Structure 1
Amino acid sequence: MHKVEDAPFWIVKSLDEMTDAEWESLCDGCARCCLNKLEDEDSGAIAWTDVGCSLLDDASCRCRDYDNRSATVPDCIRLTPDEVRTLSWLPPTCAYRLVDEGRDLYWWHPLVSGDPDTVHQAGVSVRGRTVSEDDVPLERWEERIVSWPNETPGEPRRRRRRRMP
């Protein structure tokens, strides 16, 4: 347990109370939010693809033009505290989501580890796992549906219960 005066900002502040610098530092650089998602029109269910935004740099897991991304990609969603609270597709590892839910950050988050590469070392980032939307026509995105962006690497899988005789 942290003492309040020693606790990191993400423990003691709400998303609404953070400075711009604190807000930006919460991004772990996984780039999962930069993957295109498909929504079922009838059920509203979200399916993740491995198709990255045209501005996603697959090697660094960063936006190639972060400051101007909304002008280039009009449907790019700028995360705000309200968006964090309403978007159902934020990955379970997303620091914004974790903080909003009153949970701590994972060990591999750069704010915890002190190393921006731990997000990649832990297998959380999209590094080397995507194709650009520039290379895959929209009508082929269904063929690119994947489940890993909605998983938490390193979490134990649930074991099946065996029936005892």
Structure 2
Amino acid sequence: MTDSPPFWQARRLDEMTTEEWESLCDGCGRCCLHKLREDETDTVLYTDVACRLLDTDSCRCSDYAGRQRKVPDCVRLTPAALADIDWLPPSCAYRLVAAGRPLPWWHPLVSGRPETVHEAGVSVRGRAISERRAGPLEHHIADWPGQMPAARKPRVRRQARDRSGPDGESR
């Protein structure tokens, strides 16, 4: 019996179903941080300021279906739009898959658990501030949202083995 590769390795982004496309989002929230563009160099400057709709604990949009109505400049990411967007974080699965690169171990499609993106320290949880409290974006420029996370698998603590004998005495 042969195992077929996962959908993100077997299909191009524009061949994916809506469900497959949406599942590529790892839930890190980095794309929902405000960005500035340097006028002279056209360089993207990342901030640690989150869109007002981003729940900074869950790292999910609080009104995903109505986001573009409430935040008109919110970008609807599509395979066609992806080619023109230069501000997605380097860890973004859409960018990785488009470039033929593997998804990292912490991505929920690989780990099987949505919490691994937070456990690995990749998400904005505990690192972002809401735009409602932030003040000027220029005061919140940060490098980390635009860098590939140096995420390592968390160490698993082994439980101490019971070294007592049948009578309860230690050996």
Aligned mate of 1:21, from 10, 16, 19: 19
Provide the residue aligned with 1:61 in structure 2. 59
Aligned mate of 2:147, from 138, 144, 151: 151
Between the aligned partners of 1:104 and 1:78, the Cα distance in structure 2 is: 23
The answer to whether the Cα contact below 8 Å between 2:48 and 2:127 also exists between their aligned partners in 1 is yes
The answer to whether the Cα contact below 8 Å between 1:85 and 1:97 also exists between their aligned partners in 2 is no
Report sequence identity in percent: 56
Provide the residue aligned with 2:29 in structure 1. 31
The residue type paired with residue 80 of structure 1 is T
Superposition RMSD in Å = 1.6
Aligned mate of 1:141, from 113, 137, 142: 137
TM alignment of 1:10-159, pairs within 5 A: 10-137=8-135, 140-154=136-150
Between the aligned partners of 2:3 and 2:146, the Cα distance in structure 1 is: 34
Larger Rg: 2
Shift of 1:147: 0.4
The answer to whether the Cα contact below 8 Å between 2:45 and 2:142 also exists between their aligned partners in 1 is yes
The answer to whether the Cα contact below 8 Å between 1:30 and 1:124 also exists between their aligned partners in 2 is yes
The answer to whether the Cα contact below 8 Å between 2:121 and 2:151 also exists between their aligned partners in 1 is no
Cα displacement string for residues 56-80 of structure 1 (whole angstroms, at most 9, x for unaligned residues) = 0000000000000000000000101
For structure 2, the 5+ residue unaligned runs are 153-171
TM-score of the aligned structures, taking structure 2 as reference length: 0.85
Shift of 1:43: 1.5
For structure 1, the 5+ residue unaligned runs are 157-165
The answer to whether the Cα contact below 8 Å between 2:48 and 2:140 also exists between their aligned partners in 1 is yes
The answer to whether the Cα contact below 8 Å between 1:4 and 1:12 also exists between their aligned partners in 2 is no
